[in-house]
Chains A and B, each alone.
Chain A
Amino acid sequence: MALFIAGSATPAMADHANTYDGNPCQETMDVHVIDSLDHSPVASAIVIVDHVAVVTDARGHAMLERICTGNTRISVSHPAYESLTHSFVLGRRRELELELQPLIEDFVVETKQVKPTEMKSTTTLSEEVLEKKRGLSLSETLAEVPGVSQLRSGTGVAKPIVRGHYGRRVPILVDGIRHRAQDWGIDHAPEIEPGMAERITVVRGSAGARYGSDAIGGVLLLEPRGPLLQPNTTGELHAIGYSNGLGAGLLGRVQTTPESMPRLSLQFDGAIKKLSAPSTPDYPLDNTAESEWSGGITAFYRADSTTFKLSLRHFDAELGVCLCFRIDSAAEFKAQLAQRRPTGVELYRSDFDISRPYQAIAHDLALARAQTALGFGTLTATYALQFDDRREFDVVRQSVAGPQFSFQMWTHDADVVVEHHPIHLGDQLHLSGTAGVVAMLQSNRYTGLPLVPSHDAISAGVFSVERLWGHDWEVEAGLRYDYLSRQAAIGRGDFLRLVRSGQLGIDACGTGSSDTGPVNCASAFHTASISLGGLVRVTPTWTTKLELATTARPPNPDEQYLNGSAPSFPVLGLGKPDAGAETSNSVTATVSYAGLHLHGEASSYASYIDNYLAFTPAIGTDGQPVFDVLIRGTFPRFVTRSLDAVFYGADGYLATNPWRWLELGVQGAMVRARNAEDGAYLVFIPADRVRSYATTSHGAFIGLQNLTATIAGTAVARQTRYDPAADLAPPPAGYFQTEAALGTERRIDRYTVKMALQASNVLGARYREYTSLMRYFADQPGRQLMFRITVLYDAAFSSTK
């Protein structure tokens, strides 16, 4: 029997029919369609009452309006389920829950990809949006997301900033596995080609309970494509030309599920990019060329109730560091700040040469996953091995070969996650949830100039997130516990220096000060993350969300062990080996509207971070900044320090399409961050920004389809909230940047060909970015033109046309 009307609604309806106002066809009926096996919502089901047809949304809801009271017939159909029809008496405003029986199990897997709405403010870049960003780096890809800006170092070296946090406080999950790399340095860009992702989600705000203890500022989720479920072959190829720096890129993907073995699905993807050094409007940024390639092989195998996945990825890059970056002594650094152009710029060139200083990076990820359907839900087990190899080459005498900083990191990750089916608690009331255990083992080897000692870490965690779904409200609670143990062998001299500088007690790593060998410094952290969120769909178009979250993050290795001159900054850095975990307590309120011609979201947040680990100038007992005399000159000393910090701000967007051919949008973000103890502003907090755009589209024109034209402008204010004592130069002026894009496509049989021309910094504005290391030395690149040709191939297309 496929039909089931939950809670035998008919008698109750008759009661409410007393309020019937005499108009027989003005009634509203709210239908909720769920899967009879696992109680998950069924999206895209067609619900028909009185010849009024509505399709269910992602939550399985359909709102039927203007239907008649009295005896009514309802029918529900979905290709994956047995159709059902039922008669009942309808009162005034009624709610109905209907259970559909699946036809075949295989199909269910495909239709059941509905993700719960995040309690936080999120933005998901769909495949369609990402297609227009192929060829850009991860941080450039996300640059237009509200609340996200870029922390730039060179030109190709940048990482995303989410609500004022970056790197160590914004983990990146690639295919559900944490990207393990040296992400602590300002000049360490994520070793990820975003072209591998079908979807990228930016989660803004503290998210430790679900994603791990370091998700203080947010999370970036990169999801690759799933298997092709039907025998077919699809592919895509993107060829991109760049004008500044001149270069080209090629990205491709082939996916196939053979007819002879439909349970097997294979995917190959790759990208290669070669760019010469870009130029500012006035001069080239010598030695900022990039050479990058990446590739992946993924195999899926679907057994009866279990899907297996094996994936291998490699990323390789050589990134030149601008010759204009001169990390000389404090006095020289200050003197060159006064110059408008880098010294020796007349010799600078834009070419493909990458010479010292440069970074050579390789990253490997091997992943094995099994997902199996159990009676009560699904169980997913994943193992991943990552190897991150980072070598940084400085300008040296010719007799010196090899890198000056060399990091090799091996990480094993394993997790087992159970997602139980929604538990039916009553009409329109379900409980769904996920629980899991995670474990990690890591070995970090460092050689080179004094910087960080080699260290090893082991961690384990357990988490559970449960969600109660009502009709138009949801409540979610998450709990997580993590244990991390880290051990470093600190050289005796380095250890004693940390003791002398007050960063560490002589007995902090045990006794044995008479020894001469390295000191084994072990640290262990127990951290808990909790979240409690609620969501109310006030009307079908308005949704409000509120979340309280606590996330505790153990210190990163550099925050504990840094002991050397920073490669990217003219300072001498000292860590704090006995630093404790920092704890963020945050509250986020989000309001969103999704109407027919207007949609938008506004989110505001505040967090108090207890024990916030900051890298700040060391202050001596005399109250004055500490300088260290090195053979290369005098350098200011910076130390890891625990302070209490307050972050608050707001971000959001509004987009409207008053006519089908026009879309207008505006978005903005502001972050405030200061030391709660003395009120001092924190460094590298993005300045207030507003971006607006207009896109016009035309369905067809002389054989071309989907013509679109976009112009956009971004205004960034000068950062006026800064601490002159904690930075080496005042923030640069605000700036205004313009972008433009033209695009069209044409379908030819099984191929879809898309072409796009994109221009950034159209007016060639001279500007410096506060959140860029480049700002101390040179302007940002000038006008950039990108031309992209995309070819999509779908073997099944012509047969299904």
Chain B
Amino acid sequence: MKSLNRISLIGAILLASACGEDASDAGNENEVLTTVTLTFTPTAGGAPVVALFNDADGDLGNPPVIDPVRLAPGMYNLGLKFENRLEMPAEDITLEILDEANDHQVFFTGSAVNSPASVQASAPLTQVYSDKDANRLVLGLANGITAVAGTGTLTVTLRHMPPVNGMPVKTAAAADTVRTSGFAGLGGSTDVSIDFAVTVM
């Protein structure tokens, strides 16, 4: 074991001489997302209902905590917030999405929602977009929700659709495409795809 330690020591010196400063410590910037907040604000007034998807320690830590969405029947404004809570203080990614609104869109699908991207016969929620990007295409950070009694699953998907060869991938037909062909038929890639259990009563 003694001779081994000596080898390791020689090794350490060699490595130190070779590596010098570790160039990779410059840091990698990454678009990590940990937390999505849905805020349902009753249009008639009253306390907002907040539901979180929170993967506090990132992709590979503990499983995420997903709040159930419990609403009373009525009309709501639904606001979405995306954060990276691994940073201190938490980084609000919503601002970046707004900056690149032309390349992003949020879609609402699943058995709990009737929306431009999803047609469900007896869904408790009906979603309409209430915000637009610079190209006058819908974005989905702000929405109108009508809730009636029922249960189901709400899937919130944030799609990043940067242009390909200068041609826009995000088009007015995006939600229609999701409705008819699913996300596989839509260009771009998925930044967020999370499920909430919805109960309206």
Alpha-carbon distance A332/B186, docked complex (angstroms): 10
Alpha-carbon distance A294/B167, docked complex (angstroms): 35
Say yes or no: A339-B184 contact (C-beta < 8 A), given A399-B99, A450-B59, A631-B53.
yes
* A328 partner residues in chain B, CB cutoff 8 A: 183, 189-190, 193
B68 at the interface (CB under 8 A from A): no
Cross-chain contact of A448 among B7, B28, B167 (Cβ < 8 A)? B28
Least CB distance, A60 to chain B, in whole angstroms: 42
> When the two chains form their complex, are residues B24 and A629 in contact, meaning their CB atoms are under 8 A apart?
no
Chain A residues numbered 350-398 whose CB sits less than 8 Å from any CB in chain B: 351, 353, 385, 395-398
Alpha-carbon distance A286/B184, docked complex (angstroms): 18
Cross-chain contact of A632 among B99, B100, B169, B190 (Cβ < 8 A)? B190
> When the two chains form their complex, are residues A395 and B165 in contact, meaning their CB atoms are under 8 A apart?
no
Cross-chain contact of B96 among A349, A397, A632 (Cβ < 8 A)? A397
B23 at the interface (CB under 8 A from A): yes
Say yes or no: A629-B64 contact (C-beta < 8 A), given A347-B187, A441-B14, A456-B15.
yes
Least CB distance, B18 to chain A, in whole angstroms: 5
> When the two chains form their complex, are residues B18 and A402 in contact, meaning their CB atoms are under 8 A apart?
no
Alpha-carbon distance A286/B185, docked complex (angstroms): 17
Of B30-38, B113-121, B129-137, B142-150, the segment with at least 4 beta carbons within 8 Å of chain A is B30-38
Which of B34, B64, B190 has the most C-beta atoms of chain A within 10 angstroms of its own C-beta? B190
> When the two chains form their complex, are residues A329 and B58 in contact, meaning their CB atoms are under 8 A apart?
no
> When the two chains form their complex, are residues B190 and A332 in contact, meaning their CB atoms are under 8 A apart?
yes
> When the two chains form their complex, are residues A399 and B96 in contact, meaning their CB atoms are under 8 A apart?
yes
Alpha-carbon distance A497/B162, docked complex (angstroms): 34
Say yes or no: A408-B160 contact (C-beta < 8 A), given A286-B165, A632-B192.
no
* Count of A interface residues, CB-CB < 8 Å: 59
> When the two chains form their complex, are residues B34 and A458 in contact, meaning their CB atoms are under 8 A apart?
no
Contact mask for chain B residues 34-74; partner A; CB cutoff 8 A; 1 contact, 0 none = 10100000000000000001010111110110100000000
Cross-chain contact of A631 among B8, B25, B36, B99 (Cβ < 8 A)? B36
A412 at the interface (CB under 8 A from B): yes
Alpha-carbon distance A335/B186, docked complex (angstroms): 11
Chain A residues numbered 627-651 whose CB sits less than 8 Å from any CB in chain B: 628-633
Say yes or no: A494-B60 contact (C-beta < 8 A), given A343-B187, A397-B31, A412-B14.
yes
> When the two chains form their complex, are residues B169 and A347 in contact, meaning their CB atoms are under 8 A apart?
yes
Least CB distance, B191 to chain A, in whole angstroms: 7
* A400 partner residues in chain B, CB cutoff 8 A: 29-31
> When the two chains form their complex, are residues A630 and B55 in contact, meaning their CB atoms are under 8 A apart?
yes
* A401 partner residues in chain B, CB cutoff 8 A: 29
Closest to A395 in B: B189
* A396 partner residues in chain B, CB cutoff 8 A: 30-31
A101 at the interface (CB under 8 A from B): no
B87 at the interface (CB under 8 A from A): no
A348 at the interface (CB under 8 A from B): yes
B89 at the interface (CB under 8 A from A): no
Which of B7, B60, B167 has the most C-beta atoms of chain A within 10 angstroms of its own C-beta? B60
> When the two chains form their complex, are residues B183 and A332 in contact, meaning their CB atoms are under 8 A apart?
yes
* B26 partner residues in chain A, CB cutoff 8 A: 402
* A397 partner residues in chain B, CB cutoff 8 A: 31, 93, 96-97, 100, 160
* A787 partner residues in chain B, CB cutoff 8 A: none
Alpha-carbon distance A399/B100, docked complex (angstroms): 9
Least CB distance, B48 to chain A, in whole angstroms: 22
Closest to B93 in A: A397
Say yes or no: A447-B25 contact (C-beta < 8 A), given A336-B184, A349-B165, A629-B63.
yes
Cross-chain contact of A493 among B14, B60, B93 (Cβ < 8 A)? B60
* B7 partner residues in chain A, CB cutoff 8 A: 439, 458, 460
A406 at the interface (CB under 8 A from B): yes
Alpha-carbon distance A356/B99, docked complex (angstroms): 19
A737 at the interface (CB under 8 A from B): no
A563 at the interface (CB under 8 A from B): yes
Closest to A487 in B: B8
* A395 partner residues in chain B, CB cutoff 8 A: 160, 162, 189
A443 at the interface (CB under 8 A from B): yes
Alpha-carbon distance A406/B24, docked complex (angstroms): 7
Alpha-carbon distance A408/B137, docked complex (angstroms): 43
> When the two chains form their complex, are residues A335 and B61 in contact, meaning their CB atoms are under 8 A apart?
no
Chain A residues numbered 425-458 whose CB sits less than 8 Å from any CB in chain B: 439, 441, 443, 445-450, 456, 458
Alpha-carbon distance A493/B33, docked complex (angstroms): 17
Alpha-carbon distance A349/B163, docked complex (angstroms): 13
> When the two chains form their complex, are residues B165 and A631 in contact, meaning their CB atoms are under 8 A apart?
no
A403 at the interface (CB under 8 A from B): yes
Least CB distance, B62 to chain A, in whole angstroms: 8
Say yes or no: A631-B64 contact (C-beta < 8 A), given A332-B183, A343-B185.
yes
Cross-chain contact of A633 among B57, B182, B190 (Cβ < 8 A)? B190
Alpha-carbon distance A353/B166, docked complex (angstroms): 12
Alpha-carbon distance A543/B21, docked complex (angstroms): 56
Contact mask for chain A residues 518-562; partner B; CB cutoff 8 A; 1 contact, 0 none = 000000000000000000000000000000000000000000000
Closest to B168 in A: A347
Cross-chain contact of B60 among A329, A338, A563 (Cβ < 8 A)? A563
> When the two chains form their complex, are residues B15 and A443 in contact, meaning their CB atoms are under 8 A apart?
yes
Chain B residues numbered 80-105 whose CB sits less than 8 Å from any CB in chain A: 93, 96-97, 99-100
> When the two chains form their complex, are residues B28 and A406 in contact, meaning their CB atoms are under 8 A apart?
yes
> When the two chains form their complex, are residues B30 and A449 in contact, meaning their CB atoms are under 8 A apart?
yes
A565 at the interface (CB under 8 A from B): yes
> When the two chains form their complex, are residues A631 and B29 in contact, meaning their CB atoms are under 8 A apart?
no
Chain A residues numbered 551-590 whose CB sits less than 8 Å from any CB in chain B: 563-565, 572
> When the two chains form their complex, are residues A344 and B169 in contact, meaning their CB atoms are under 8 A apart?
yes
A404 at the interface (CB under 8 A from B): yes
Say yes or no: A335-B14 contact (C-beta < 8 A), given A344-B187, A404-B30.
no
* B189 partner residues in chain A, CB cutoff 8 A: 326-328, 395
Least CB distance, B36 to chain A, in whole angstroms: 7
* B57 partner residues in chain A, CB cutoff 8 A: 493
Alpha-carbon distance A734/B73, docked complex (angstroms): 57
* B55 partner residues in chain A, CB cutoff 8 A: 630-631
> When the two chains form their complex, are residues A497 and B60 in contact, meaning their CB atoms are under 8 A apart?
yes
> When the two chains form their complex, are residues B23 and A408 in contact, meaning their CB atoms are under 8 A apart?
yes
* A494 partner residues in chain B, CB cutoff 8 A: 60
Cross-chain contact of A402 among B19, B22, B29, B99 (Cβ < 8 A)? B29
* B100 partner residues in chain A, CB cutoff 8 A: 397-398
> When the two chains form their complex, are residues A445 and B11 in contact, meaning their CB atoms are under 8 A apart?
no
> When the two chains form their complex, are residues B33 and A631 in contact, meaning their CB atoms are under 8 A apart?
yes
Least CB distance, B102 to chain A, in whole angstroms: 11
Closest to B82 in A: A631
A301 at the interface (CB under 8 A from B): no
Least CB distance, B94 to chain A, in whole angstroms: 12
Closest to B25 in A: A447
Alpha-carbon distance A446/B28, docked complex (angstroms): 10
Least CB distance, A452 to chain B, in whole angstroms: 12
Least CB distance, A608 to chain B, in whole angstroms: 32
Say yes or no: A344-B164 contact (C-beta < 8 A), given A328-B183, A563-B60, A631-B59.
yes
* B23 partner residues in chain A, CB cutoff 8 A: 408
> When the two chains form their complex, are residues B31 and A410 in contact, meaning their CB atoms are under 8 A apart?
no
A42 at the interface (CB under 8 A from B): no
Alpha-carbon distance A408/B20, docked complex (angstroms): 13
B194 at the interface (CB under 8 A from A): yes
A68 at the interface (CB under 8 A from B): no
> When the two chains form their complex, are residues A404 and B60 in contact, meaning their CB atoms are under 8 A apart?
no
A343-B184, A410-B15, A485-B8 given. 11 additional CB < 8 A pairs? A329-B193, A343-B187, A349-B165, A397-B93, A398-B99, A402-B26, A403-B28, A412-B18, A494-B60, A630-B59, A631-B192
Interface of B toward A, CB cutoff 8 Å: 4, 7-8, 11, 14-15, 18-19, 22-34, 36, 53, 55, 57-61, 63-64, 66, 93, 96-97, 99-100, 160, 162, 164-165, 167, 169, 182-194
> What are the 8 closest A-B residue pairs judged by CB atoms, nearest first?
A344-B187, A335-B184, A633-B193, A336-B184, A347-B164, A441-B11, A448-B28, A493-B61
Question: Can you give 17 A-B contacts (C-beta < 8 A)?
Answer: A327-B189, A328-B190, A344-B187, A348-B165, A349-B165, A396-B30, A398-B99, A400-B31, A402-B27, A443-B18, A448-B30, A458-B8, A460-B7, A494-B60, A564-B60, A630-B55, A632-B193
